[in-house]
Amino acid sequence: MSVNPEPSHEADSAAPAPAPVADAKAMRRAFGMFATGVTVVTVGGDGPHAMTANSFTSVSLDPPLVLVCVDRGAIMHGCLTAEETFGVSVLAADQEPLARHFSNRWRPLGAAQFDTVDWLPGPLTGAPLLTGTLARFECELWRTYDGGDHSIFIGRVLSMEQQDDRDGLLFFHGRFRRITPDRSEVTA
């Protein structure tokens, strides 16, 4: 006996025709239907740099790995390749101004982009880590993979800090969002 009967296809006939995959704007809107957290990825060294990124995720616990996807045309792409260590700061719900600052194409570059924000150098890499965030990671570049117009940078986590007392900043449907107060815990 089937618990879930087969879905009716009647509702599908009223749905709009699918957009062609080659339509980049439609593809961006469709990808935007997946809610993500918001981070700021940073590199230190002689030319420190930061960028807001929502294409960040955990990959493995053993070894501890994370990934971030970066557009090949972004300044951060060259910085990650050259520096080989980076930081990731996971933003809290009240840190939308930081996300907007580090996604602003007209902000100062180099060390000057950090002049108006609170940060500290990572103890192992020197990468700028933003203060007041939910979590901070220091990573060394472990692997890089082709991801079309992006590269997939996988970092081995060298250090981490976390705070559990606040909600995270989300990005959904092209806008910053906050988690609602209703919570449920998922255990593995």
Task: Give the tens place of pLDDT for each residue, 57-99.
Answer: 999 999 999 999 999 999 999 999 999 999 999 999 899 999 9
The predicted structure's pLDDT at residue 177: 62
Give pTM, 2 decimals.
0.79
Residues of the chain with pLDDT under 70: 1-22, 27-36, 170-177, 179-188
The predicted structure's pLDDT at residue 160: 96
Contact 155, 139 (CB under 8 A): yes
The predicted structure's pLDDT at residue 24: 73
Spatial distance between the Cα atoms of 111 and 132, rounded to a whole number of angstroms: 20
Spatial distance between the Cα atoms of 126 and 9, rounded to a whole number of angstroms: 56
DSSP-H helix ranges across the chain: 24-31, 75-83, 96-103
